[in-house]
Structure formats: C-alpha cells, structure tokens
C-alpha cells in the first residue's frame, strides 16, 4: 500500500487522546471535561461507535474485522482533521485515536499499520499526550454501560486493555488512570490528570497567542 503523507503542523493547538480498554470511563471523562472547558475544547467522538451505530456490520470473522478497522481508521483520521480545521484554536480531545485499531486487528499490530500505509511511530506522533483509562474489567468489575454497540466479554476487555496499553505506552507523554472500585474517584482522578496535561502542554497559552 502507498505510504501516507503525515503532516507535522497541527494548527498550533494541542491534540490529546483518551483511550483504554472497554468500560474504562474515557467517554464520560471526555464529555465532562468538554462541558467544563466550554469553547476551549472540541471533542472528536469515538469513530468506532459512529461506524457501527451507522449500520456497518459487526462480526468476529477476520476479514470482516479487517474491513471494519480500515473504515474506523479512515473515519478517525478525517474526524480529527475536520475538527482541527474547523476549530484551530481549541484543544482537540480525541475519544480514542488511530492507534487503537492495531489492538483490534487480527494478527500482529505491525500488520495493521502496514495495511494503513503507516507506522506506530507516525500515528503516535499525531498526538501531544495520551491518557489511558484502564478497563473496569481489569479489576473484575462489569463493563456494561450506555454504549449499545459494546459486545466484548470481560476476558476480551482485559485482553484489549493490555494490547492497547502496550501500544499507547510507547508515547513519550503517556499517563495512566488506573482502575478504581469507585467510578467517581477514577473519573475525578482522570479529569485532574487531563487538566494537568493541558496546563503542562501550555494549550491555553498557545490559544491566547494566536
């Protein structure tokens, strides 16, 4: 497959990804942070939810998974690029990122990046920071929630959590939000981490200078 061009300029704003295994609380944290920060933040919604809820079939057959992950990757990249173009002065908060597909891809992660015409290094470079919300399944708790497309078992959720962490933890600005029996405490900790990252990266200062 032809290699992609990966632009290095991102309009001067911060791009932060929230990720983790199923049932980690990242979507809740992203929505709360956006509500708190108002027009300083723009949210990039989870591409997989958009793809599957829009009618794309979900199957455990390997070729079907390949097709789905290719679609999700393209939607993810383009969603980020559209939001960056529309809101160049805001913090871009991504509910999952382009690396996630490698954990869902049957086979080795590098096969996913080869298929996408990219590399793990190039995809990690799209983001200024990564905040990883560990799945509740790691602590033996249920992952049932408000997402109707979620179909992972507890065992699968733990497996995905570990795969995702191995990939994303290679980012130089990786922060872990560990499982906590108290969802409130976990989300509060995650929001504090996110707020700290935004301040550390100088996102607000960058915005004011533009």
Between CA 148 and CA 56 the distance in angstroms is 14
All domains of the chain, ordered by start, with CATH?
Answer: 15-209 (3.40.50.300)
- The confidence score (pLDDT) of residue 144 equals 63
pLDDT string in tens for the chain (210-residue length) = 445 554 443 445 799 999 998 888 999 999 999 999 988 999 999 999 999 988 888 888 999 999 999 999 999 999 999 999 999 989 999 999 999 999 999 989 999 999 999 999 999 999 999 999 999 888 767 666 555 565 667 888 899 999 999 999 999 999 999 999 999 999 999 999 999 999 888 775 544 444
**Nearest Cα residue to 175 out of 45, 20, 3:** 20
Phi, psi angle pair for 94, to nearest 5°: -100, 125
Task: Tell me what pLDDT residue 55 has.
Answer: 87
Contact indicator for 51, 62 with CB cutoff of 8 Å: no
What pLDDT, on the 0 to 100 scale, is given for residue 23?
A: 84
Q: What is the rounded CA–CA span in Å between residue 207 and residue 58?
A: 40
Give which of 56, 137, 60 is closest to 106, Cα–Cα.
Answer: 60
CB 8 within 8 A of CB 68: no
Res 4: pLDDT:
53
Q: What is the pLDDT of residue 102?
A: 97
Please give the model's pTM, rounded to 2 decimal places: 0.86
CB neighbours of 13 closer than 8 A, spacing ≥ 6?
A: 84, 87, 88, 89, 90, 91, 92, 203, 206, 207
pLDDT for residue 2: 42
pLDDT at position 7 is: 44
> In the structure encoding, which two tokens stand for residue 148, read together?
């109707």
């Amino acid at each position: 497959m032809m290699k992609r061009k990966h632009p290095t300029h991102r309009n001067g704003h911060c791009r932060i990804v929230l990720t983790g295994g199923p049932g980690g609380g990242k979507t809740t944290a992203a929505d709360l942070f956006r509500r708190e920060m108002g027009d300083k933040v723009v949210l990039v919604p989870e591409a997989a939810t958009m793809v599957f809820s829009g009618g794309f079939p979900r199957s455990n057959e390997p070729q079907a998974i390949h097709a789905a992950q290719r679609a999700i990757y393209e939607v993810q990249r383009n969603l980020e690029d559209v939001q960056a173009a529309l809101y160049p002065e805001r913090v871009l908060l991504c509910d999952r990122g382009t690396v996630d597909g490698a954990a869902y891809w049957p086979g080795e992660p590098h096969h996913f990046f080869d298929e996408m015409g990219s590399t793990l290094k190039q995809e990690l470079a799209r983001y200024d920071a990564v905040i990883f919300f560990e799945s509740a399944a790691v602590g033996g708790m249920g992952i049932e929630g408000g997402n109707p497309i979620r179909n992972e078992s507890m065992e699968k959720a733990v497996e995905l959590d570990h795969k995702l962490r191995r990939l994303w933890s290679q980012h130089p600005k990786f922060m872990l939000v560990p499982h906590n029996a108290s969802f409130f405490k976990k989300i509060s900790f995650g929001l504090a981490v996110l707020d700290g990252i935004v301040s550390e990266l100088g996102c607000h200062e960058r915005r004011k200078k533009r």
